[in-house]
Amino acid sequence: MLKAGIVGLPNVGKSTLFNALVANAQAHAANFPFCTIEPNVGTVSIPDKRLELLSEMSRSKQIIPARVEFVDIAGLVKGASKGEGLGNKFLANIREVDAIVHVVRCFDDNNVIHVSGRVDPVDDITTTNLELGLSDLNQIEKRRERLKKQIRNSKEAQIEDRILEQIMTELEAGGTASSVNFTEEELILIKPLGLLTLKPIIYVINLSEDDLSTGNDYVMKVETLAHQEGAQTVHISAQVEAELIELGPLERIDYLKSLGVEEGGLQNLIKATYYLLGLRTYFTTGEKETRAWTFRAGMTAPQAAGIIHTDFERGFIRAQTISYQKLLEAGSLIEARSKGWIRSEGKQYLVEDGDVLEFLFNT
């Protein structure tokens, strides 16, 4: 399962958000830096109305959603790349995740300490990104030193060194590794380094409940910076989400209405993170169960079949497929077959998000 790491400075709302995400997680949220030391890990169901509609159509006895893993990582401080605070541990934990969910404090509260003594979300982002970049530079310098012995006799080492030099130039200019255009082969070469600034990122704008519906000046600044980076943002109030967990369905609706919003930002964050990781969903449906299966965008039908069982990929013959919209329009798999709407696809078929699939294979 791919993992998204929740990162940011201390006391920006990371653990509160994590607790809200996994509902029953035991991450301890408190009003002091480094409350989270060891990373907390929790899996979260992907909210998907398509799953519920297909289940209703098939009268399934069970619904099994897709899931994604979130990791709550210790707060970073200036100098983390040199070991300040919990820097080394923090950076090592980020290196192990596949995407970064960067929580940015966009609220004023004198009762919640800010590690810098003032609320400035753009400065917070700059501090975090600088430390990630410095850590990457350190990694690259060490790797290039080791490559020196191989460059004379290895073309692959020469190519890797050239790529790393490009990244160094970008980082030294204040950019990120993701700013460099790589081929698939080049990405494979540098993947073992686990470069932090190469990971996809989403900024979570953490607001007070009073500003959730209207936003504030902080939001505009973060949105501008994110746009410049080509990053996505999600608006959320971690505190509101934590309170929603304790309420029943009707109470939640009333509470959100009182804040001037129709829904919290939690579901948007989960879905946005899922897509940020390059994940998509196909479905299987029947009377026994309707299930969402997670696959990577760009997977072929045999690869997608292998997610269910390796035998399905090994003995793949073909896939029977229909989009979930078309299936719902037909009203049942039987009716869809009678209309000729179910397609037969071979080994080269690229599975699409929302496909309903049945695999035929040799044992």
Q: Which residues are annotated as a binding site for ATP?
A: 11-16, 207
Q: Is the dihedral of CA 252, 258, 262, 264 positive or negative?
A: negative
Return the exposure string of 199-236: e unless at least 16 CB atoms fall within 10 Å of the residue's CB, then b. Answer: bbbbbbbbbbbebbeeeeebbebbeebbeeeebbbbbb
Question: Residues comprising the binding site?
Answer: 11-16, 207
DSSP track, 208-221: -GGGTTT--HHHHH
Question: In whole angstroms, how far apart are CA 95 and each of 5, 7, 71, 91?
Answer: 9, 12, 12, 6
Cβ neighbours for 354, distance < 8 A, ≥ 6 positions apart: 50, 281, 282, 283, 323, 324, 325
Give the Cα-Cα-Cα angle 219, 221, 222 (nearest 5 degrees): 65
Cα 325 → chain centroid = 26
